[in-house]
Amino acid sequence: MFKSLKVIYSIIDAKTRTRVPLAFLIILLLSCLEIFGISLIFPLIQSIVGKGNVTYLNYFKALVPWIKVNSDHHLVIMISSFVFGLFILTNILSIFLIRWQVTFLAKADLNLSTR
């Protein structure tokens, strides 16, 4: 297995070799953003269904001193808009990543075919 990876690594040019770790880091960043967004959905649903004080939830105890809101309703709206914005940002970044991957693979394919 390592032998075939070494052969592939030797075929790829230097510019392509430097872009592969960059693609990995971008994919890792997008995965972390997705995990963070999904992890915020459970406390958000719990606070909406709970019909009580949102600040008693363990998830929001650290946020309450930082966010100065007057009511639980405002806190729920603020967190839900943050979750919505986070998913929008993740999807926009995913679109750019897919576009970058397509051009990257097309250029790598062109470089390998001309050798």
**Model pLDDT for residues 93-113, shown as the tens digit of each residue:** 999 999 988 998 888 788 778
pLDDT for residue 17: 78
pLDDT for residue 90: 92
φ and ψ at 58, to 5 degrees?
A: -65, -30
Whether the Cβ atoms of residue 78 and residue 67 lie closer than 8 Å to each other: yes
**Model pLDDT for residues 14-34, shown as the tens digit of each residue:** 777 788 888 889 899 999 999
Q: What is the mean pLDDT of residues 66-92?
A: 81
pLDDT for residue 22: 85
